[in-house]
Amino acid sequence: MDVNEVERLIKISKEHPLMPETYIPWHLEPANDDVFLPEILTSLQGLPIYDTLSTNQKLELGRHELVQVIASYGWGECLFCLFMTRHILTLPLDDVEHRFLLRELIEEFRHQEMFGQAIRKLGGKPIQQSGLHKFFGLFSNKYLAADYLFMGSISIELVTDVYGNYARRSPNIYPVLKKMFDLHNIEEARHIIFTKSLLKTYTDKAGYIKRTLYSYVILFNILFVRTMYVKKEIYERIGLENPEKVFKLASKNFKQKFSEKCLADTMKFVNEWKGFNLLTRWAWRWLLGVEV
Ligand SMILES: [Fe+2]
Ligand SMILES: [Fe+2]
């Protein structure tokens, strides 16, 4: 791990904290043509059914799906905070990794509060995680070793980074959400630099089997997060007929979009330490629909 680099990250975190309370213009209400999620990230855009939706249904689809996305972030970050809290107990208080993780914990707690406030501001009703998500989330958090959990966290951070960039660069995104994504991307960029640097110590000495396992951890984390966003109940809420059928079409559509638009950075990272091999390539193709 590059200690000087991590010291620099700690310094920025302390000297330039971004407070959601003041950084985000919470008092602003959405303007008439503001959207909550760029169309391209919604599950139905690209399907013929999307063109049959009214302007209001499109807006509502974006609002509900955005709420689902940030509620999932909040839940995932809370889980990761549980792990980090346990992990720093094993490190001396003056250790650079311990000190950075304290900064990351502080920031992640602020993010969770910020996501919750944004959900309230949007009048959102997040749909609970499925039993399977809860089980795998809690099980892996409790029993996997630290290197695997950091692998999982970086895969999710890399995906949320791409998502955030789409959202904050969208010209008519609701300003509260734009600033929320700005803040999140700035702070997550530091977490990504730290985690990559930390993981390099592990990947440098990892053999074929370990690289295969790391690759699967990343793959399953992405699958985990991708399947949290698309929900049948949202199609019911916006008044679509046959929500079950729409859900099936949307899941397929979203899988394809997600692999095309959100996974380039993650795949580059996996490739850097040769995580694609005979044992992993087929699963990436089959489960995530990527070309590798
Ligand atoms: Fe975060
Ligand atoms: Fe993070």
Q: What is the pTM of this model?
A: 0.92
Q: Which pLDDT tens digit goes with each residue over 79-133?
A: 999 999 999 999 999 999 999 999 999 999 999 999 999 999 999 999 998 898 8
Q: pLDDT confidence of 227, banded at 50, 70, 90?
A: confident
CA of 249 to the centre of ligand 2 (A): 32
| Nearest ligand to the CA atom of 109 | 1
pLDDT number for residue 225: 86
Q: In sequence order, which ranges of 126-174 are alpha helices (DSSP H)?
A: 131-143, 146-169
CA of 219 to the centre of ligand 1 (A): 20
pLDDT number for residue 228: 87
Query: Contact at 8 Å (CB) between 105 and 84?
Result: yes
pLDDT number for residue 111: 97
User: Tell me, what amino acid is at 248?
Assistant: K
User: Tell me, what amino acid is at 87?
Assistant: H
Q: Which pLDDT tens digit goes with each residue over 242-274?
A: 999 999 999 999 999 998 988 999 999 999 999
CA of 53 to the centre of ligand 1 (A): 33
Going from the N-terminus, what domains does the chain have, and what CATH number goes with each?
3-16+32-288 (1.10.620.20)
| Nearest ligand to the CA atom of 183 | 1
Mean of pLDDT over the chain:
94
CA of 56 to the centre of ligand 1 (A): 30
Please check the confidence at residue 226 and state whether its pLDDT lies above 90: no
CA of 292 to the centre of ligand 2 (A): 27
pLDDT number for residue 152: 92
3 state SS of 35: strand
CA distance 99 to 84: 11
CA of 165 to the centre of ligand 1 (A): 14
